[in-house]
Structure 1
């Protein structure tokens, strides 16, 4: 094989792998991949011909998946899809050149000047679009999605093998190149339709789930209001009996017994009752019904667990510049984490503040916590959690959601025994 063809092939593949991934390759990664490319192009090709691309891609894809394990499926898809687009561009170039009578072995510098910038742009645009989809939609790797994408990749491999076998037998006349172009374009269109269908189905199911969760939370919220009303009636009805129970201590002049009775029997009931009433009253300023329902359910759950809860919503809030499904998911994760973490403390407490400044809204969730031997700066990384191994998907999901917005910022603070999550949404 001529040296310029080897160099051109290596450069083409390096453009592919450097421009079509969810992350950037460093110098060491490029050296490893270049070594794999040289080994396969120079040696393996001598034994199995053009089919060398299959073991070459298999090894390099495994290496890329090792470098970024949490994005393995996205990177496999990006490499295969981008490579297919590059093959289409390359075949189009050869098709045009064969018609006008240009020889690649002679005019290869012109080929590099024309095709390589196109390769770069195609890979970059494909990667950028897929990363946008990845950030906007947290697509779970369900068995259905894995089967569909697996079948799509198998189809791609079959097309590659068929194209290689036909090209080796018939060469690259215009008719073969044109057929190959049509075949690859059909595959690209099919893959695009598959991805679009998966994204549409996910968004539809997510909206249905959000509406169902909002309805369930609203039902729970209405149930809590009804229970609060019943508690008020019971409290008023039992007030006289409570006073009569105190009379005995007063008549006996047993102030110590009265104080003990009040602290153990009367105060806990009245305190919990007042806290529930206070939560309902303060939520009056929140006019986003799905968020109001969620917060009410979470706070009352925390109160049942004997967690001290402070809620602050001073101004009326009826609009937030963020999808309600995403906002509910984020605040739900914040509150779940806060409730779980503070229960380890001697005096568990949670402070929730929603602050409005013009059109900007800030959510602050603050809870007591016990510091553990982990790197809190890495919270939000998949698998990193204060809850133990194989946890940490909550804050990772939060960061994934936030990455889809340009007007949302999350900050984390941990000091003086308090863990604080801030979510700032700009109007």
Structure 2
């Protein structure tokens, strides 16, 4: 290929360096340049020429493995790092082939390096513009799809590398380019079909969940009505008892009766009801239902609960089903973290601004937590085996909703999760 007839060292450096830039762009990791990552990338770039001199055309394979290792350090997912590495590797080959064809067509002898570098930088700029203005992802939410796609891309990549090692005629370059473009087109079509199917599936799930939430809401109303009837009955009996003490002027007995029977009930009602009275301002029935059920359950487990909402919440500008699931996961984790502890406490609130609705949930901590990225891995849990799916699923839900942002922090002895839902532009 004409690439080997020009400044080979500089070409290999450019090819290797651009691979790392593409990985950082795909991961939307523009603002993070740790010393370790930067040193690793520079080391790979520096030894890439030696690798190329040792095994020739096949040098791209070990270099690509090192790029995948770099991606894994950022994602902590083998399937995602494998897929991302193959994507940037194959794209580099596409740019290489296009550069060859341009140089050949224009008779631009000695212009491969300039052409290749220009096309790489141009594609890098276009990629960043797309990523900064959309929520397009290079990987699927399901690891199984990532693995299948990665295997297909690996077959294509190995075919190109092996075939170019045997023959580098222009005809072979052109045929490889056609194969790549066809595969890219098929991948885009399959992804679009998958996206449409998933959207339809979630619409059906949302309708089913809405019916379920409406039913649960009506059941809650019935429960509250029965509680009110029981309270009225108890209230009448309590008044009759008080009247007997008053009729006999037994103030000492009345005082003892009040301390032993009325005062504890008053405190319990205040603790269990008024802490959640702001829930009446939540007019989105599915959200109100999930909040009430989770917080009421927490109270039944002896956990101190607070909820605050100053303004009426009329609607949420996102998928209600996904929001309900996300809030359920966050609250379940909060309850699990504090249940059984005498000082267990959960504080929750909803804040509304001109541009967003913020759901804030925090609980106190009673143990040292591992790094946050480890908590989000599938299967990891501080509570034993067969757990740890919540935070990973929560991240998946947030990622598929463009107007959702999740912030997770540990502040002193409190675990805080802030779920922001951006409002639709008017």
TM range (shorter): 0.7 to 0.9
Q: Which residue in 2 is equivalent to 1:139?
A: 141
RMSD over equivalenced CA pairs, Å = 4.3
Report the Cα offset of residue 28 of structure 1. Answer: 1.3
CA distance change for structure 1 residues 117 and 79 in 2, over 3 Å: closer, same or farther? farther
Alignment partners' CA distance in 1, 2:419 and 2:70: 33
Report the Cα offset of residue 243 of structure 1. Answer: 5.8
SS at match of 2:76: helix
Report the Cα offset of residue 164 of structure 1. Answer: 1.9
Alignment partners' CA distance in 1, 2:91 and 2:274: 61
Q: Which residue in 2 is equivalent to 1:355?
A: 351
Q: Which runs of 5+ in 1 are unaligned?
A: none
CA distance change for structure 1 residues 86 and 366 in 2, over 3 Å: closer, same or farther? closer
Residues 25-75 of structure 1 deviation map (CA, whole Å, 9 limit, x = unaligned): 743112331255234311123xxxx34433443x32453255235244333
Residues 146-169 of structure 1 deviation map (CA, whole Å, 9 limit, x = unaligned): 45314422432353246325xx34
The partner residue of 1:335 within 325, 331, 345 is 331
Q: Which runs of 5+ in 2 are unaligned?
A: none
CA distance change for structure 1 residues 365 and 199 in 2, over 3 Å: closer, same or farther? same
CA distance change for structure 1 residues 19 and 299 in 2, over 3 Å: closer, same or farther? same
SS at match of 1:316: coil
1:10 and 2:6 are equivalent in the alignment? no
SS at match of 1:306: coil
Q: Which residue in 1 is equivalent to 2:164?
A: 164
SS at match of 1:262: helix
Alignment partners' CA distance in 1, 2:244 and 2:139: 65
Alignment partners' CA distance in 1, 2:299 and 2:400: 33
Q: Which residue in 2 is equivalent to 1:296?
A: 292
Q: Which residue in 2 is equivalent to 1:231?
A: 227
Alignment partners' CA distance in 2, 1:370 and 1:230: 36
Contact map agreement 2:359 2:420 (CA 8 A) in 1: yes
Q: Which residue in 1 is equivalent to 2:115?
A: 114
Report the Cα offset of residue 183 of structure 1. Answer: 1.0
Report the Cα offset of residue 78 of structure 1. Answer: 2.8
1:68 and 2:74 are equivalent in the alignment? yes
TM-score under structure 2 length normalisation: 0.75
CA distance change for structure 1 residues 200 and 20 in 2, over 3 Å: closer, same or farther? farther
Report the Cα offset of residue 325 of structure 1. Answer: 4.5
Alignment partners' CA distance in 1, 2:7 and 2:207: 60
- Residues 188-227 of structure 1 correspond to what in structure 2 (within 5 A)? 188-227=184-223
SS at match of 2:7: helix
Alignment partners' CA distance in 2, 1:425 and 1:279: 24
Q: Which has the higher contact order (CA 8 A, sep 6+)?
A: 1
Alignment partners' CA distance in 2, 1:139 and 1:9: 34
Alignment partners' CA distance in 1, 2:338 and 2:304: 10
Alignment partners' CA distance in 1, 2:373 and 2:59: 40
- Residues 407-422 of structure 1 correspond to what in structure 2 (within 5 A)? 410=407, 412=409, 414=411, 420-422=416-418
The partner residue of 1:53 within 53, 60, 70 is 60
SS at match of 1:20: helix
CA distance change for structure 1 residues 2 and 357 in 2, over 3 Å: closer, same or farther? closer
Report the Cα offset of residue 118 of structure 1. Answer: 1.1
Report the Cα offset of residue 185 of structure 1. Answer: 0.6
Alignment partners' CA distance in 1, 2:332 and 2:94: 49
Mean Cα displacement is larger for which, 212-221 or 294-303? 212-221
The partner residue of 2:92 within 83, 86, 89 is 86
1:42 and 2:44 are equivalent in the alignment? no
Contact map agreement 1:381 1:395 (CA 8 A) in 2: no
Contact map agreement 1:353 1:365 (CA 8 A) in 2: yes
Alignment partners' CA distance in 2, 1:420 and 1:55: 42
SS at match of 1:363: strand
Alignment partners' CA distance in 2, 1:187 and 1:38: 30
Report the Cα offset of residue 116 of structure 1. Answer: 0.7
